Amino acid sequence: MKSIKRYINVLALVAGMASFSPVFAQSSVTLWGLIDTGISYVSNESGKHNVKMDDGIDEPNIWGLSGKEDLGGGTYATFELVDQFELDSGSFMPNESLFSRTSTVGLTSENLGTLKFGNQYDFMTDALFFGGDDPADLSGHLYAFRAGPFQKLDIPNNPTGAFDWDRMAGEVVSNSVKYVTPIAGGFSAGAMYRFGGIAGSAGEGNGVSYALNYAQKNFGANAAYTNLKYVEAGSPDVSIRNWGIGAHYQENRWAAAVLFTTVHNSLNGASVYEGSIGAHYQITPALSSGAAYMYMKGNAVLNNNHANQVAANVTYALSKRTQVYLLGLYQRANAGADAQINGLNDPGDASGNDAQSVVRIGLHTEF
């Protein structure tokens, strides 16, 4: 009898604890990722052709954790942790670590906008690329971003000096705070500040980025500006300034984009601009194709080098998450310059003359 009473008392205690348990806000955490690999043929690397496995071309190889907690009143606490890796070796990207791609925490409100802190994209990526204005995303993917015969551009911490010089392939800014307004009448705006962290000099090593966005039905347009300072021992800060404008239109099976971007190095005076246009067509529910053209031009510091570039792809969807694709890209620079396609970043990857081309077959999946 005592054992039965003891059992009833335990049940009563558990029930009482349950009745006084706190109510937690609704939250969610998502694990997601992108994986891409393939075989690329490069016509000219230092005068020789090359066939190689290359990954992260259609999309970067990344996995991430993102989540949000409902704080009530249309306000959420958010976080995002994203790692980029090399598929063929399983290692981190060069000179990077876990969550170097993105690591943020912040607040978002339907009425007040979004505020994020951490390591995150500036508005060249956030507004122009994610806004849908980049013809590279419709055609040759990473290979079709901006590079060219501009190695003397000499951007700090850059594998070639000119890799992705307009920052639209996913460059990130550390120690930054970013705010984006709510959308009103199709318009939104954003501002970012990077803290330099240099004692006694708040302006040294800092940076800013701004954006103005418009999106309404099938049309969108975006403008972005970024100026980042790089601290180098024994020399003045190197200020790298970018700005760009772009637009896109999508209707039924068609998508089109046009883009203009620039870069300027304050230390050596080197500047480049580019203009590009592209389109994509959904031939069938599974089959699609895209193409783009780009012209790049450097100033006198860069020997007035220039280049024309064309890219095209064909993609077949095996499922909603997995695609196979074939792409080709050709870059032709002026005589005396060495062409260099974006993403060919190892020493000696630049062409031995003024022309370089890539043909690739690849596989992309996401989860």
Is 60 exceeded by the pLDDT of residue 52? yes
pLDDT at 203: 80
Q: What SS3 string covers 82-132?
A: EEEEECCCCEECCCCCCCCCEEEEEEEECCCEEEEEEEEECHHHHHHHCCC
How many Å apart are CA 280 and CA 256, to the nearest integer? 6
Q: What is the pLDDT of residue 35?
A: 96
User: Which is the CATH superfamily of the domain at 40-366?
Assistant: Porin (2.40.160.10)
Q: What is the mean pLDDT of the chain?
A: 91
Rounded to 5°, the CA angle 316-317-323 comes to 85
Mean pLDDT within 243-259: 97
> Is pLDDT above 90 for 182?
yes
Backbone angles phi, psi at 319, to 5 degrees: -160, -175
3-state secondary structure the chain: CHHHHHHHHHHHHHHHHHHCCCCCCCEEEEEEEEEEEEEEEEEEECCEEEEEEEECCCCCCEEEEEEEEEEECCEEEEEEEEEEEECCCCEECCCCCCCCCEEEEEEEECCCEEEEEEEEECHHHHHHHCCCCCHHHHCCHHHHCCCCCCHHHCCCCCCCCCCCCCCCCCCEEEEEEEEECCCECCEEEEEEEECCCCCCCCCCCCEEEEEEEEEECCEEEEEEEEEEEECCCCCCCEEEEEEEEEEEEEECCEEEEEEEEEEEECCCCCEEEEEEEEEEEECCCCEEEEEEEEEEEECHHHCCCEEEEEEEEEEEECCCCEEEEEEEEEEEECCCCCCCCCCCCCCCCCCCCCEEEEEEEEEEEEC
Q: What is the pLDDT of residues 337-359, one digit of tens each?
A: 999 999 999 888 999 999 999 99
Q: Are 202 and 193 in contact (CB under 8 A)?
A: no
Cβ–Cβ < 8 Å for 242, 262: yes
Ordered by start, the domain boundaries in the chain are 40-366
For the segment 190-221, what is each residue's pLDDT rounded down to a tens digit?
999 999 888 777 788 899 999 999 999 999 99
pLDDT of residue 347: 82
What would the two tokens of residue 13 be?
């205690």
The answer to whether 76 touches 70, Cβ cutoff 8 Å, is yes
What distances in angstroms separate CA 89 from CA 98, 268, 360, one per listed residue?
15, 37, 19
> In this predicted model, what pLDDT tens digit does every residue of 5-38 receive, in sequence order?
443 343 333 333 333 334 445 789 999 999 999 9
pLDDT at 25: 58
The vertex-38 CA angle with 35 and 40, nearest 5°, equals 140
Question: How much of the chain exceeds pLDDT 90, in percent?
Answer: 83
pLDDT of residue 200: 74
**pLDDT for residue 168 is more than 90:** yes
Could you tell me if 296 and 273 are in contact, meaning their C-beta atoms sit under 8 angstroms apart? Answer: yes
User: Residue 151: is its pLDDT beyond 50?
Assistant: yes
**pLDDT per residue as tens digits for the range 294-317:** 999 999 999 999 999 999 999 999
pLDDT, tens only, 57-104: 999 999 999 999 999 999 999 999 999 999 988 888 888 889 999 999
Q: What percent of the chain has pLDDT over 70?
A: 93
Sign of CA dihedral 126, 263, 152, 297: positive
The CA–CA distances, whole Å, from 243 to 117, 141, 248, 342 equal: 23, 21, 17, 19
Q: What tens digit of pLDDT does each residue of 217-238 get?
A: 999 999 999 999 998 777 778 9
CB–CB of 187/199 below 8 Å?
no
